[in-house]
Amino acid sequence: MLKKGGGNIKLAFITSNQHKYFEARQVLSSWNIDLYMVDSVKLEVQDEEIENISRTAAIYAYNVLKKPLIVEDSGLFIEALNGFPGPFSSYAHKTIGNEGILRLLSGESNRKAYFKASVTCVCNEFVMTFNGLVYGTISMEPKGDKGFGFDPIFVPKGFDKTFSELGEDVKNKISHRSKAFTELAMWLSQSRNL
Ligand code: ITT
């Protein structure tokens, strides 16, 4: 059952990434949903679709924890690189990093990219997945000192600054993560009587 302490829904967020956790918490705070971070049971599977990765990891974690929970898988998809790093974003960031991505794009005029987040919630008998996307471009050089991961090289559409320069308040209004978690929150708030 979903635990409702003081009217709030409690959900475990299975992740090792504190940045993802804090961003998700901020989005969900206005929806009376309390997240707590569990950094232990995330199964990392390989798949070309991040939806499949988040669903498989969420079902695995639920079978271990037996508590209402969410898992988010996300990635940066770069058009000129045929979608790379996509589902391999975490590994690509740890290995070649932002500088490596910029090197792969050197001399490339097509800088289009998008971030995608896929959040799977397992609670009671439900397994629900919600996606969020934000479109933009890859900058010519890293800029800004806020955020994490590819934030210093991603310029969201309609802005002329990177996510790192814009900071969390702006990012959290438009990001792939905020869109996916808002969809989740809307579904949960309509499902209060489950
Ligand atoms: P968990 O699997 O433990 O949740 P993780 O960081 O490995 O943490 P992912 O497997 O979903 O998470 O990897 C997604 C990677 O994509 C992440 O490590 C970042 O490098 C990048 N990424 C995702 N969302 C991002 C964002 O909002 N800003 C910058 N980079 C992001």
Give the residue, 193 or 100, on which the prediction is more confident: 100
Q: Which of 15, 17, 54 has most ligand 1 atoms within 8 Å of CB, for mutation? A: 17
pLDDT category, 23, cuts 50, 70, 90? Answer: very high
Is CATH 3.10.100.10 what the domain over 3-190 is classified as, yes or no? no
Percent of residues, the chain, with pLDDT higher than 90: 82
- Mutation to probe ligand 1, out of 14, 20, 116, 174 (largest number of atoms < 8 A from CB): 20
Q: What is the pTM of this model?
A: 0.94
- Residue 6 DSSP SS3: coil
Residue 192: band (very low, low, confident or very high) from pLDDT cuts 50, 70, 90: low
Residue 187 amino acid letter: W
Binned at pLDDT 50, 70 and 90, residue 2 comes out as low
Domain residues of the chain, as ranges? 3-190
Distance 194 CA to ligand 1 centre (A): 31
Residues 144-175 have pLDDT tens digits of 999 999 999 999 999 999 999 999 999 999 99
Which protein residues touch ligand 1 with a CB less than 6 Å away?
15-17, 20, 42, 73-76, 89-90, 93, 115, 147-151, 175, 177
Intra-chain end-to-end CA distance of the chain, in Å: 8
